[in-house]
Structure 1
Amino acid sequence: MKVTKFISIFALGIGLVTTSPLRPRQAPQASIGEWDIVGDSQVAAMHIVLASYKDIYIIDKVEANKIKQANGSPAISAVYDIETNQVTPLDLTTDTFCSAGSFFANGTLFHAGGAENGLGYNPGYQSARFITPTDPNPDWMEIPDGMVTSRWYPAMATLPNGNVLSAGGPPQPQPISFPFLVDAMPYNLYPFVHVMPNFENKQLLFVFANTQGILFDIETNTVISKLPVLPGGIRSYPLTANSILLPLRPSLNYKPTIMICGGNTVMEITSPAIASCGRIDPTDPNAQWEMDNFGGTGRVMPDAVLLPDATVLYVNGAGTGFAGYHSGPKDNPLYVSGNPTLTPFIYDPETKEWNTNLAPSTVPRLYHSVATLVSDGRVFVAGSNPQPNVELGTEFPTEYRVEMFTPPYLQTGLARPVINSVAGFTTLNTQRIDVSYQQTVEVQVTKGQTDSFITAAIIHHGFVTHSQSFSRKYVMLKVISAQYDPNNTNNLTLNLEMPPNPTILPPGPSYLYILDNGIPATYSVALTIGFPTT
């Protein structure tokens, strides 16, 4: 495990009008979500990141995608505009296969690592790449030998001090010995890494690979505790499960809960995926796994999305097998995974209940699939490419179709709230609004319903790849007060308290969501959280 000096960020949260827990969920509606095929990604979506309220950056490995970049080589990166469903290629020179990314505090995306050369591209093993979404015409800047050593399948996490940790990633100045990843072999690629909240400004990490996890102090390079083995099978690549840090709540003093779902027991094509989840607080001295049944269906390679209403959407993946490419010819391929899991599930961390009565997708999403929440409350789903090169007309082709999943909270027929201003800014999402830790921020909204219950959330959606979302967090915000406009009782002035310190929410880009009775506003608002200037 290595550490490199740059800042990356994500921010999340939900704030409550009262000191109660989240408003009890309404009775299930007849609506069960909706899938729409909205566009063509043009570039196979191995990695994605929400770059602005309307733009998603797509990154692939080197292969003959549909569109070309400026030098005539097939594009392996592009910008997907959610509003127009149009795609613009971005220029790269090095292979980005199975790399990782995270944001600097100033909003620049750092992307590192990759693989071998081909199709006019140079090797990407040591490449460091940078792009700033707020630039007038953003494009990649590369340093092909920008890392000290070669990295492939690394995991990243932004630390509270603003540095970025890479497990299996770039070292500076020297690699740090990390025996845990040796002990976890052979299943130690893309390990799960989450920063743990605390009030002592310690840089504590939960790290998990294979079947086991540890609590680790990055500053002292010390294992604080070894956690019990998670029963049921192997959870990390290529028997890929999903690990998520559930929403952090002020009412619970930001107590962290990790939830790991899915995976498999052996690298066997017909082996059924694991139909269990484990929940744990890694900071508990007597930490034990609390098991769940993953809604009754096994999945390998699932993607999880933290929704604005503090529930978790699970999509994509397979019912059998493991992550990897098919063997054999195109007309008679042997896929290493199958039985696509087309029906999404929604998990409620408060009630620990599963909603499995949701509309299924029609598009199989296997190896190299991705999903992320977007600013209007829908979920962007893309990718699936279980072959080493672009292949069409086969059972599970290179998948360019882009879907949007509309969650049930957008199907109630009730009006959505509207964010009118944040911290005095009435023009929103043309620039990020700066806020500070512990700051009380004024937000003016038009409520959606007569009997309103307003909550707020800052969400950093992370860098999504291989069933992970690096540095993603969701932190519930406190709503200190809510006052009606005497001239228009549909309008409210909220005072929201930002998270208390950078162990709970690292500095950098994030998105503020406002909800009324669990229904998100028409758009979230781009923020940057940081330390106050003096």
Structure 2
Amino acid sequence: MAAEAKPQIVTHVNKLNYFSILLLLSFNVASGAGGTWKLLLNEVGISAMHSQLLINDRVIMYDRSNFGPSKISLPSGACRDSPNDVVSKRDCSAHSIEYDVAFNSIRPLTIESNTWCSSGGVTPEGALLQTGGDKEGERKARMFYPCDDESCDWTEVDNALNVRRWYATNHVLPDGRQIIVGGRNQFNFEFFPKTKAPSLYKLPFLSETYDVGQENNLYPFIFLNSDGNLFIFANNKAILLDYNKNTVVKTYPKIPGGDPRSYPSTGSAVLLPIKNLEAEVVEMEVLVCGGAPKRSYLLALYKNTFVKALDTCARIKINDDKPQWVLEKMPRSRVMGDMILLPNGHVLLINGGSSGSAGWELGREPVLNPDLYHPNKLVGSRFQVQNPSTIPRMYHSTAGLLRDGRVLVGGSNPHQFYNFTDVLFPTELRLEAFSPSYLESQYWSIRPRIISLLSHSTVNYGGILRLRFMVFGIGGVRSPVKVTMVFPSFTSHSFSMSQRLLVLDHVELVRIGVWTYEVRVKAPRYKNIAPPGYYMAFVVNQDIPSEGIWVRLQ
């Protein structure tokens, strides 16, 4: 049976014509491993199933609240009744933490209801909105407002959602609201805050992409397009949705080969860097990588057979008149991997396994090496293998970009409960950081250092953004110097929700001192291109980014 589930690569010309695609499956990995790993904390008390960087450079992490005590106590010796906990009906441990990047420290936070396999995103004001979960938490929303001391904690909003949201996806919208799409047995979407009647909108696309006994349509990949519509990918299909009218305005071809890429056949996806923001039609390109062949989940669950994961990525220009997927091969198979946009526009593929699927005990062969993807290089030279971690990051792992350019990596708990012994992949409480090669000391002489704007400054839509920076190497600045803006994403189950990177249109680069320069760029003009809120802004010189600063776009 396992052989039936192996991915089939289409090679015959007639089949190419049938799919109307170009398959680019031969590749060469760019030479030279890069990047370094550092263990930050040996134990953070919880397994980081969900994570979100906030504007005070602290990262909120949480797992679920009904599977027994964690390894960190609630604040001030508090306890809470937990009637749905199958291990402990009274729980004195925390299931959420705040990680302080600057001090490399944690503090416990209090969540009152179950946040298992939920979704979220940041508001224009910089707060974290979290939605859904399981059992008593399935229709709740939770807010976390960042603070500079230790006074802030979770607050909960009862009945904030119309239906149960478990394994759903959020996306920040141009008006600052968030749309919540799908979830287990939910073929619909809604908004937070709630809209007036109707407050729940049917989405047949989610039932059309549902595989009986496997699902393969959970945690759909969602991206805001430049026309204000939403690109929604589930299983192996995608649509462009006008959510205001609840109308499908475009249906895309099925991804080549037809294998699923959504949970539990979990791949990942990013919206590639958005450029030429002043163009009449802004090019938007989606990259989907990894996943598991058809029936992999069933074979792992019922037959203890772990099929090799998919080893392909697919790109599509979603605004083309006749968009087509273009396939290319990765250096390795990967399921449950994360994809992170780096400040210089490269994409980091990290975490996951190379066989099996998502779900309890269903993944095998951990992938320890990240892979760096260069979107602008020629096909065949886009991937670069990075140095490996020593820690498997399987199901329920997370990764996210920090303002200093590192990638924070945590989590991995492929078990029903916390399980630290006598299992293939013990519940993982260690927190580590991956530093891409652009942080290496050899690039010190060309690395920009922003000296103004001040962090947390406000930038208006369509305005001129002036960033002064220093580069201490002689002749170390080469035009064009880029300015990129990265929206901080909510990460869970191998997908970074609302993640986007903008390359701002260049106006002028001026040298104003021996080591000092000023770059002037245009802020995005439209909320469809860049929803309002806080972004990390970086100056990039010769592919080497500065440390970012927070700017608020409004």
Asked whether the equivalents of residues 311 and 333 of structure 2 are also in contact (C-alpha less than 8 Å), the reply is yes
* Residue in structure 2 matching 1:421, options 437, 447, 452: 452
Number of aligned residue pairs: 474
1:337-395 CA-partner distances (Å, limit 9, x unpaired): 10011111000110143333321111001100111111111111111000011111232
Structure 1 residue 84: deviation in Å? 2.3
Name 2:145's counterpart in structure 1. 132
1:229-269 CA-partner distances (Å, limit 9, x unpaired): 10231110000010110000117933100011111112223
Name 1:205's counterpart in structure 2. 230
Asked whether the equivalents of residues 55 and 126 of structure 2 are also in contact (C-alpha less than 8 Å), the reply is no
Structure 1 residue 33: deviation in Å? 1.1
Structural mapping, 1:113-128, within 5 Å: 113-116=132-135, 123-128=136-141
Name 2:532's counterpart in structure 1. 507
Q: Distance in 2 between matches of 1:220 and 1:54?
A: 38
Name 2:266's counterpart in structure 1. 240
2:407 is equivalent to residue 379 of structure 1: yes
Asked whether the equivalents of residues 418 and 448 of structure 1 are also in contact (C-alpha less than 8 Å), the reply is no
Name 1:13's counterpart in structure 2. none
Name 1:332's counterpart in structure 2. none
Name 2:317's counterpart in structure 1. 281
Asked whether the equivalents of residues 445 and 492 of structure 1 are also in contact (C-alpha less than 8 Å), the reply is yes
Identical-residue share of aligned pairs (%): 31
Name 1:69's counterpart in structure 2. 74
2:330 is equivalent to residue 294 of structure 1: yes
Q: Distance in 2 between matches of 1:496 and 1:251?
A: 11
Amino acid at match of 1:245: L
Structure 1 residue 29: deviation in Å? 8.6
Structural mapping, 1:135-534, within 5 Å: 136=149, 137-168=151-182, 170=190, 172=194, 173=196, 174-185=199-210, 186-198=215-227, 203-232=228-257, 233-250=259-276, 253=279, 254-265=282-293, 266=295, 267=297, 268-269=299-300, 270-295=306-331, 297-326=332-361, 336-351=362-377, 352=379, 353-393=381-421, 394-411=423-440, 413-415=442-444, 416-422=447-453, 425=454, 428=455, 432-449=456-473, 450-453=475-478, 454-485=481-512, 488-521=513-546, 523-530=547-554
Q: Distance in 2 between matches of 1:88 and 1:226?
A: 46
Query: Tell me, what secondary structure is at the counterpart of 1:313?
Result: strand
Query: Using CA pairs below 8 Å that are at least 6 residues apart, which structure has the higher relative contact order?
Result: 1
Asked whether the equivalents of residues 36 and 403 of structure 1 are also in contact (C-alpha less than 8 Å), the reply is yes
User: Structure 1: which 5+ runs fail to align?
Assistant: 1-27, 117-122, 327-335
Structure 1 residue 448: deviation in Å? 4.5
Q: Distance in 2 between matches of 1:291 and 1:124?
A: 40
Query: Tell me, what secondary structure is at the counterpart of 2:202?
Result: coil
Q: Distance in 1 between matches of 2:74 and 2:317?
A: 46
Name 2:53's counterpart in structure 1. 50
Name 1:20's counterpart in structure 2. none
Asked whether the equivalents of residues 277 and 524 of structure 2 are also in contact (C-alpha less than 8 Å), the reply is no
1:268-290 CA-partner distances (Å, limit 9, x unpaired): 23111001111001222201101
Query: Tell me, what secondary structure is at the counterpart of 2:515?
Result: strand
Name 2:11's counterpart in structure 1. none
Structure 1 residues 124 and 374, CA, compared in 2 at 3 Å: closer, same or farther? same
Asked whether the equivalents of residues 33 and 384 of structure 2 are also in contact (C-alpha less than 8 Å), the reply is no
Aligned alpha-carbon RMSD (Å): 1.8
1:493-517 CA-partner distances (Å, limit 9, x unpaired): 2222111211110001111111222
Q: Distance in 2 between matches of 1:252 and 1:482?
A: 19
Asked whether the equivalents of residues 56 and 148 of structure 2 are also in contact (C-alpha less than 8 Å), the reply is no
1:72-112 CA-partner distances (Å, limit 9, x unpaired): 33211111112222110111101100111111111121111
Q: Distance in 2 between matches of 1:299 and 1:55?
A: 29
Amino acid at match of 2:156: E
Asked whether the equivalents of residues 174 and 527 of structure 2 are also in contact (C-alpha less than 8 Å), the reply is yes
Q: Distance in 2 between matches of 1:493 and 1:527?
A: 17
Structure 1 residue 414: deviation in Å? 2.2
Q: Distance in 1 between matches of 2:334 and 2:157?
A: 38
Asked whether the equivalents of residues 278 and 505 of structure 2 are also in contact (C-alpha less than 8 Å), the reply is no
Asked whether the equivalents of residues 129 and 141 of structure 2 are also in contact (C-alpha less than 8 Å), the reply is yes
Amino acid at match of 1:38: L
Structure 1 residues 513 and 187, CA, compared in 2 at 3 Å: closer, same or farther? same
Structure 1 residues 320 and 388, CA, compared in 2 at 3 Å: closer, same or farther? same
Structure 1 residues 29 and 495, CA, compared in 2 at 3 Å: closer, same or farther? farther
Amino acid at match of 1:151: R
Query: Tell me, what secondary structure is at the counterpart of 1:181?
Result: helix
Asked whether the equivalents of residues 343 and 356 of structure 1 are also in contact (C-alpha less than 8 Å), the reply is no
User: Structure 2: which 5+ runs fail to align?
Assistant: 1-29, 80-91, 183-188, 301-305
Query: Tell me, what secondary structure is at the counterpart of 2:170?
Result: strand
* Residue in structure 1 matching 2:104, options 81, 85, 90: 85
